[in-house]
Amino acid sequence: MKKHFYLVINGNAGGGTGRKTAVKIIKQLQTANIDYTTFYTDHAGHEIEIAQNLAENTLIPWSEELDTDLFPLLVVLGGDGTLHSILNALQAFDPKIPIGYIPCGSGNDFARGVGIARQAENAFLQLLKADAPQEIQVITYDESIQDESGLAVNNIGIGLDGAIVQAANTSTSKHALNKFNMGSLSYIFSILKVLFTQKGFPILVEMNGKNLEFDRAFLCTITNHPYFGGGVSIAPIANPRKPVMDFVLVERINIFKILWLIILLIQKKQMDSKYFHHYQSSKFRIVSTLPQYVHADGEILGKRSTDISFGTEVRLFWF
């Protein structure tokens, strides 16, 4: 079956990597004589408008029994934030509409987690070779205080995780580092900045019919694949193809113990620390009464008190 590629391109992703990648991909499409249409985003939220318009007028759900000679495939060229926005834009439409993804961001954790090549040309070859989409579990979240819901492809963080993302997204060094493909360093700088200022806070966690209370939570992350923060393996056994989420909580401890925990994290031995807690479940609820930064896939939801319930849903990704 032939495909018509509908490319949604965030040229600013990765400090301009999206634009450079698009030039290469379009050249390969032309060389291979593959039908394509391009849509470049030119303002915040434009990718949402494009995706919704395509879903209403062009895209169709995938089925093994499709009777068409030319399948319209949405392909996202951008970072995890762009993918997050488009996934949520399609939430109101048929969940069997597949998404292709060529990573162009500074973190690209989704690509790492599901097995998409992070080198753009190789990711493009995966798209070409695939005969059908793959089923990937994404995180669903419902926040009752703000009456807000959505989907996440990577993780949702409360506390240190959210504060790091806030600091990284507002960092003056991120744009400069992205130009040299070193955007992940902005997370490291942000960690060092926030590490000394983030305080412990109380949370309640509901899962598997049990309630757990923590008085000095520091970092709280719900994830469905191993990575966050541009390649940090926070939950090594997480699997995006299973309807199970991993919850990681780190307690607020003194700076020397934190530094030791970071060393364990680099060595993927964080499970050895008594201050590192890891749980798996198909459903979670987290209640935090003290306002903390909250993010979903690196997109800040705000600094707020939260009451969030989490689950999973299947979405189709073409790679």
Q: Do residue 285 and residue 179 come from a single domain? A: yes
Q: Three-class SS of residue 71?
A: strand
Q: Do residue 172 and residue 287 come from a single domain? A: yes
Going 64 to 66 to 67 to 71, the CA torsion angle's sign is negative
Asked if 115 contacts 319 with a C-beta cutoff of 8 angstroms, the reply is yes
Final residue of a domain: which of 132, 162, 186? 132
Judge whether 161 lies within some domain: yes
Closest CA to 153 of 220, 61, 207, 91: 91
CATH number at residue 71: 3.40.50.10330
| Max CA separation in the chain (angstroms) | 62
Q: Residue 195: what pLDDT?
A: 87
Judge whether 70 lies within some domain: yes
Final residue of a domain: which of 106, 132, 158? 132
Count of H helices and E strands in the chain?
Answer: 9, 15
Q: Do residue 174 and residue 84 come from a single domain? A: no
- Tokens representing 21 are 């990648």
Contacts of 29-32 spanning 24+ positions with Cβ under 8 A: 29/5, 32/128
- Tokens representing 199 are 């305080």
Q: Do residue 220 and residue 279 come from a single domain? A: yes
What is the number of other CB atoms lying within 10 angstroms of the CB of residue 251?
Answer: 19
Closest CA to 36 of 135, 127, 110: 127
Closest CA to 101 of 47, 141, 140: 47
Judge whether 155 lies within some domain: yes
Q: Residue 178: what pLDDT?
A: 55
Q: Do residue 197 and residue 181 come from a single domain? A: yes
Going 292 to 298 to 302 to 305, the CA torsion angle's sign is negative
CATH number at residue 246: 2.60.200.40
Range of the domain at 124: 2-132
Q: How far apart are CA 17 and CA 149, in angstroms?
A: 30
Q: Do residue 159 and residue 282 come from a single domain? A: yes
DSSP string covering 93-111, please?
Answer: S-TT--EEEEE-SS--HHH
Q: How far apart are CA 261 and CA 276, in angstroms?
A: 8
Asked if 292 contacts 158 with a C-beta cutoff of 8 angstroms, the reply is yes
Q: Do residue 215 and residue 93 come from a single domain? A: no
Q: Do residue 102 and residue 224 come from a single domain? A: no
**Residue 210: strand pairing partners:** 207
Q: Do residue 113 and residue 177 come from a single domain? A: no
Q: Do residue 128 and residue 160 come from a single domain? A: no
Q: Residue 267: what pLDDT?
A: 83
Q: Three-class SS of residue 236?
A: coil
Judge whether 82 lies within some domain: yes
Residue 229: CA count within 13 A, CB half-sphere: 24
Judge whether 244 lies within some domain: yes
Judge whether 215 lies within some domain: yes
Asked if 76 contacts 110 with a C-beta cutoff of 8 angstroms, the reply is no
Under-50 pLDDT residues of the chain: none
Q: Do residue 45 and residue 169 come from a single domain? A: no
Judge whether 319 lies within some domain: no
> pLDDT, tens digit, for every residue of 257-288?
988 888 888 888 898 899 999 999 999 999 99
Number of domains in the chain: 2
Q: Residue 229: what pLDDT?
A: 80
Whose structure tokens read 């999973």? 312
Final residue of a domain: which of 88, 107, 132? 132
> pLDDT, tens digit, for every residue of 153-162?
999 999 998 9
Judge whether 209 lies within some domain: yes
Q: Do residue 202 and residue 227 come from a single domain? A: yes
- Tokens representing 306 are 């939260």
- Tokens representing 132 are 């059908």
Asked if 75 contacts 16 with a C-beta cutoff of 8 angstroms, the reply is no
